[in-house]
Chains A and B, each alone.
Chain A
Amino acid sequence: MKNKRLLCDLLLILAIAALAGAIFLLTRLPSGEEGEAVEIRIGGELFKVLPLDTDSSTDVGGLCTVVIENGAARVSESTCSNLLCVNHRPISRSGESIVCLPNGVTVRVSGGADFYI
């Protein structure tokens, strides 16, 4: 009885872990290449798109500062309480992101567009 339950537990945990693995494959594998730009959003609304090939420092609505250096983006300062965004390593690959939930700021690397107009 007890062993059967533990087996069920194991299967349940494996199933959930497999789901996480599938999401991992779907979200990260197709876009492993270096990105071209970062999209900065506040509360989901687009704030700015910055090219990764140009060094810059951008104040994001007084909430944090996004710095682009050597083709990678990072958050250098933030008004948030936990500073997870500031401690996050720089991002440069398509699909990678830095999320600052307290301020609702997201920084996401995007690949190039199909057309520029």
Chain B
Amino acid sequence: MKRLLIPLLSALILLSGCAPKRFGAVYTDVFDTFTELTVYCDTEDEFNACSAAAHAELLRLHEIFDIYNTYGGLTNAASLNSDLSADCPDELVELIASGKQWYELSGGKLNIALGSVLSLWHDCREKGVLPDESELKARAEHCAIADIVIDGNNVSLSDPLMSVDLGAVAKGYAAQKTAELLTEAGFENFALSVGGNVITRGKKPSGRWEIGIEDPDGGLLTTVKVSGESVVTSGDYQRFFEVDGVRYHHIIDPDTLYPAGLWRSVTVISENSAEADALSTALFCLDEQSGRALAEKISAEAMWVAADGSIAKTEGFSDYEK
């Protein structure tokens, strides 16, 4: 018995001594949202290095995809929108190219060329008024995805009145890139949430990462457990404004030019955070049947919460709830 006990005890002591510690940081200056990093590593110095690297990468990507500000000599989404043609950083070209692919995949429901319409909604949200319908329709004339032309690193917008808006895809892409950077730097167990775009790597000492999915009516709907996957929710309760007691949220259906009304929220679990972000926006505007087909096509799992509170899930979604 003793022969067994001593190695067992020493193993326990060793394990507890080496158990990685949990560290966390929050950034509020990227992607106009709340970003949270959680890392399991051995020392605080290690974590500080990790956090600094993540923050720098997020800031860099934030500047590239920013449509409101320009940053000196950097060509970014904002400068592209005003100059109409520019040699762009690799990340901007890659995200715009993937945006064009998502337009095809989603049957036009995810449109990064919708900038002129979205900026009108954005301005109206700030003022708390509804956009003028004829103005919306006039702007919708300048949202053709084919007018974004990519040639090598050169991107040009052939319609001078159009603008690119990467809001639906940038956060997921940034989370993906930042996670790749941290993995390369040798961090194995961390999770990053860029405004609700959660990407996970490895796991916690106690098991998989747990992500609580909020009920659109308040409270918690479910908890999904992931290790390596990304989770994102698009919901009508996340960003909205009210006019005469009616809620207008931030996900605009390109076909109606008004907030999509099919779902209260859509949650996506996928291997890739950029894909998860894009898919959740696309699914939010698509009916269940087309949505299921699209989710299956890119092997993602999804959960839909309908206006009446009823819930639909892809077959594999419940596996993450166990």
Contacts and interface: CB of A to CB of B under 8 A. Distances in A.
Determine direct contact between A and B, CB below 8 Å. yes
A114 B322 contact: no
A114 B214 contact: no
- Size category of the binding interface on chain B: 20 to 34
Interface string B247-278: 00000000000000000000100000000000
Contact of B191 (A31, A51, A54, A114): A114
B211 A113 contact: yes
Q: Which of B191, B213, B220, B318 is most buried by chain A, counting CB atoms within 10 A of its CB? A: B220
A114 B198 CA distance: 10
A117 interface: yes
B92 interface: no
Given A51-B220, A113-B223, A44 B191 contact: no
Interface string B228-262: 00011100000000000000000000000000000
B211 A115 contact: yes
A117 B191 contact: no
Given A45-B318, A46-B321, A116 B206 contact: no
Contacts of B206: 30-31
Nearest to B231: A117
Q: Which of B219, B231, B267 is most buried by chain A, counting CB atoms within 10 A of its CB? A: B219
B210 A114 contact: yes
A117 B195 CA distance: 8
- Size category of the binding interface on chain A: 10 to 19
Contacts of B198: 115, 117
B105 to A, nearest CB: 23
Interface string B192-228: 0100101000001010011111100001111100000
B36 interface: yes
A51 B219 contact: yes
Contact of B232 (A51, A54, A116, A117): A117
B249 to A, nearest CB: 15
Q: Which of A30, A39, A111, A115 is most buried by chain B, counting CB atoms within 10 A of its CB? A: A115
Interface string A49-80: 11100100000000000000000000000000
B223 A39 contact: yes
B70 interface: no
B209 A46 contact: no
B120 to A, nearest CB: 28
A117 B200 CA distance: 14
A51 to B, nearest CB: 6
28 contacts: A30-B206, A31-B206, A37-B220, A37-B223, A39-B223, A44-B322, A49-B212, A112-B212, A113-B211, A113-B212, A114-B38, A114-B204, A114-B210, A114-B211, A115-B36, A115-B38, A115-B198, A115-B211, A116-B211, A116-B213, A116-B214, A117-B193, A117-B198, A117-B211, A117-B213, A117-B231, A117-B233, A117-B267
Given A49-B222, A54-B219, 7 more contacts: A30-B206, A31-B206, A37-B223, A46-B222, A49-B221, A113-B220, A117-B198
